[in-house]
A = this chain, B = another copy of it.
């Protein structure tokens, strides 16, 4: 399949917002999505961006029936392990269903970007019921840090975060 992968630019935010919504539908959490195109523009494409992105694009002749040529994306940011050092975190990896084979190339690109920046780890999360994604990641040599080492993801948000921030 013909496609290209390139760095995301401001003008991609509309399509990233669309695909983020599609991903949340797949992951059955649409009620949790509060991010908008404008948020993505501000947070990813100002000075000191909170994330970076890459876009997978197909030629016009392969556009979807809805007219889309931007058919996949990954968001990532640089992170750190105080034991292992520089790391890259893949926040999202999404490819529209009819183009699924492209996921590998997007993930490979994130790995390349990480290695070029001196990162020794690529980290991400997967939902435990999402067996096809888990199987894909395991087939790529990734391992389940939660299952193998017992790490749990923890979060503080909303009123609890406000309370915690009280001096």
Q: Which residues of A contact B (CB under 8 A)?
A: 16, 20, 23-24, 29, 32-35, 39-40, 43-44, 50-51, 75, 77-87, 89, 91-92, 107-108, 111-112, 114-115, 120-129, 134, 137, 140-147, 149-167
Residue of B nearest to A120 (CB): B157
A-B contact pairs, 9 of them (CB 8 A): A20-B83, A44-B80, A120-B158, A122-B156, A128-B150, A142-B160, A143-B154, A143-B155, A147-B152
Q: How far is the CB of A16 from chain B (nearest CB, A)?
A: 8
Residue of B nearest to A167 (CB): B108
- In the complex, the count of this chain's copies comes to 2
A2 and B154 CA atoms in complex are apart in Å by 29
Residues of B within 8 A of A167 (CB): 108, 112
Residue in A120, A128, A145, A154 whose Cβ sees the most chain B Cβ within 10 Å:
A154
CB distance B85 to A43 under 8 Å? yes
